[in-house]
Amino acid sequence: MTTITIVDDDVSIGDMLERVLKKEGYQVLRAYSGTEALLLLEKQRPDLILLDLMLPGMSGEELLPHLAGIPVIAVSAKTDVTDRVEILLQGAADYLAKPFDIRELLARITVQLRKQEEKGRTVLSFEGLKIDFTLHEVSVKEVPVRLTRTEYGILRILMEHPGQVVTKSRMLDLISADSLDCMESSLKVHVSNLRKKLREADGRDYIEAVWGIGFKLRSFTIS
Strand 72-76, strand 143-145: pairing: unpaired
Residue 223 in this model has a pLDDT that exceeds 70? no
The larger pLDDT score, comparing residue 78 to residue 16, is at 16
pLDDT band at residue 134, thresholds of 50, 70 and 90?
Answer: confident
Residue 105: is its pLDDT beyond 80? yes
Does residue 108 register a pLDDT over 90? yes
Q: Can you give the pLDDT at residue 121?
A: 66
**Percent of the chain topping pLDDT 90:** 55
Please say if the pLDDT value at position 127 is more than 70: yes
The predicted-structure confidence for 26-59, as pLDDT tens digits, reads as follows: 999 999 999 999 999 988 899 999 999 999 989 9
Split at pLDDT 50, 70, 90, the class of 148 is very high
Average pLDDT across the chain, whole number: 89
Specify the DSSP element, H or E, that contains 139. Answer: strand 137-140
Measure the CA–CA gap between 155 and 17, rounded to whole angstroms.
Answer: 29
- pLDDT: which is higher, 210 or 134: 210
Which are the contacts of 78, defined by CB distance < 8 A and separation ≥ 6? 53, 54, 84, 97
Higher pLDDT, 62 or 177: 62
The residues, ordered by sequence, that sit 6+ positions from 117 with a Cβ below 8 Å of its Cβ are none
* pLDDT tens string 176-222: 877 787 888 899 999 999 999 999 998 899 999 998 899 999 887 65
Identify the three-state secondary structure at position 177. Answer: helix
Enter the pTM of the model.
0.67
